[in-house]
Amino acid sequence: MPVYAYKGVNQSGRPTKGTISAEGARAARVQMRAGGVFLTEITETNTQAGADGKPKTSGRGLNMEINLPVRIPPMEIAMSTRQLATLVGAGVPLVESLSALVEQTEHRALKGVWAQVRDRVNEGGSLAEALSGTGRFDNLYTSMVRAGEASGALEAVLARVADYLEDQVRLNNRVLSILTYPLFMLAFAAVVVGVMVTLVLPQITELLISQNLELPWYTAAVIGFSDLLRGYWWLIIVAIVGLVVLYRSIWRTKKGRFALDRFWLGFPVVGRVIRFLAIARFTRTLGSLLASSVNIVQALNIARHVANNAIFEQAADAARDAILEGAPLANPLRQSGEFPPLVTTMVEVGERSGDLEGMLIKVADTYEEQVETSITRLTSLLEPVLILVMVGVVGIIIMAVLMPMLQLTESIG
């Protein structure tokens, strides 16, 4: 964003000067006028705006700096959104609320984003347009804010957006915390087996081969696996990378993604968790949008992407088409066969009572709890299985080494 050096007079009649970042000279004049400064001179400087909205001098030498996009944690966005809702609810004008938010935001990248939003709103744009122009806020966020501005309930909508973001972060953190220990056990088992096969076993193998002993078949198999791992480890890595690339290539195609999502939904145990997670995300997003006065057709267009599953996207498209023809939401969801009876029944009750958004939120709460319960049960079963597998693999390696060593001891004795 260009930076301008200005001179002017403030409301007290005293001369003032400084720099300001704006989209153009006219936008800079409007911004300074709103701040009570009457400009007498303004010129563009040889600087650029940094990530925090402050000017950054660009030297004449070779600029080796590479500005990569910085990821903003969802919880940071949720916290700043709640702070903005509090400021707006307290009656602070929107531009002043955004200025206060810029000052108290500690995350550097997010500070710069809110500075851009403030400047665009100060130029006369709506908050939703300013948020969309930064490219940092998804369609769900901007649609809810747009609906809040249109209905005059911006404070309530911002608070609802913050609740939604915090719920999603909380769910992801719970799932991650449950999976951390089993993943650690799996990685530890892989490291132990790798060290034994590649470092310990070859030294013992040389001793056994040097004695010309007839090795048992399981010892020969373990030695062969060790030689394969040590000699062709690069080929194994290439094969794994190739499978990942192939999977992603198939997933990028419409038919391939549909087939893969259908496969994972039908996978034992794991498919149940994936289905419940997709339902929780879909219903919470749809309920939050409807509660923010977004029409149901637009809400379905947004919620379909949040499920992150081609099967549920197809079901959402069918529901949208049915609603455009005058059908209630529960009917196409039931006909899709992807939603359990509990979901369709509660949706039907919500439509009859006029509290569809409330019922959808309750469905999301129910299935988020089931996701957590299912993952907890899965990991409770996975932990002993991993331990047994690790013990079994280590036991086989020990037996493959110990038996020939006993033969060698007997022959020496």
pLDDT band at 148 (very low <50, low <70, confident <90, very high): confident
Superfamily the domain 156-413 falls into: Type II secretion system (T2SS), domain F (1.20.81.30)
68 contacts 130 by C-beta, under 8 angstroms: no
Mean pLDDT score of the chain: 81
Q: Higher model confidence: residue 4 or residue 112?
A: 112
**Helix, strand, coil share (%) of the chain residues, nearest 5:** 75, 5, 20
Q: Write out the residue limits of the CATH 3.10.20 domain(s) in the chain.
A: 2-57
| Arithmetic mean of pLDDT, 89-96 | 89
The pLDDT of 78-89, averaged and rounded, is: 91
Dihedral in degrees, nearest 10, Cα atoms 246, 261, 294, 349: -170
A 10 A CB-CB count for 401 gives 20
Pairing status of strand 2-9 against strand 15-21 = antiparallel
pLDDT digits (tens, 9 = 90+) for 308-344: 789 998 999 999 999 999 889 999 999 999 999 999 9
pLDDT score of 64: 41
- Structure confidence at residue 244 as a pLDDT band (50, 70, 90): very high
Contacts of 205 (CB under 8 A, 6+ apart): 223, 226
Encoding tokens for residue 4? 């301008």
Pick the CATH number of 2-57 from 3.30.2320, 3.30.360, 2.60.40, 3.10.20: 3.10.20
Query: Got the DSSP string for 284-330?
Result: HHHHHHHHTT--HHHHHHHHHHHT--HHHHHHHHHHHHHHHTT--SH
User: d(Cα 122, Cα 3) in Å, to the nearest integer?
Assistant: 16
Contacts of 105 (CB under 8 A, 6+ apart): 76, 80, 111, 114
Question: What is the distance between the terminal CA atoms of the chain, rounded to a whole angstrom?
Answer: 85
Question: Tell me, what's the pLDDT at 48?
Answer: 47
Task: Please tell me the pTM assigned to this model.
Answer: 0.66
Q: How confident is the model at residue 50 (pLDDT cuts 50, 70, 90)?
A: very low
Instruction: Delimit the CATH 1.20.81.30 region(s) of the chain.
Output: 74-137, 156-413
pLDDT tens digits, residue range 246-300? Answer: 999 998 898 999 999 999 999 888 898 889 989 988 998 888 888 878 888 888 8
Indicate the burial class of 90 (C-beta count within 10 angstroms; 0-12, 13-18, 19 or more): exposed
Reduce the DSSP state of residue 57 to 3 states and report it: strand
Angle, to 10 degrees, between the axis of helix 127-134 and the axis of helix 139-151? 170
| CA gap 158, 292 in Å, rounded | 9
Arithmetic mean of pLDDT, 142-169: 83
Q: Specify the CATH number of the domain 74-137.
A: 1.20.81.30
User: Six-digit token pair at 51?
Assistant: 């990530």
Q: How far is CA 367 from CA 207, 362, 384, in A?
A: 58, 9, 26
* Nearest alpha carbon to residue 409 among 120, 213, 178: 213
Residue type, 155: E
- Report percent pLDDT > 70 for the chain: 87
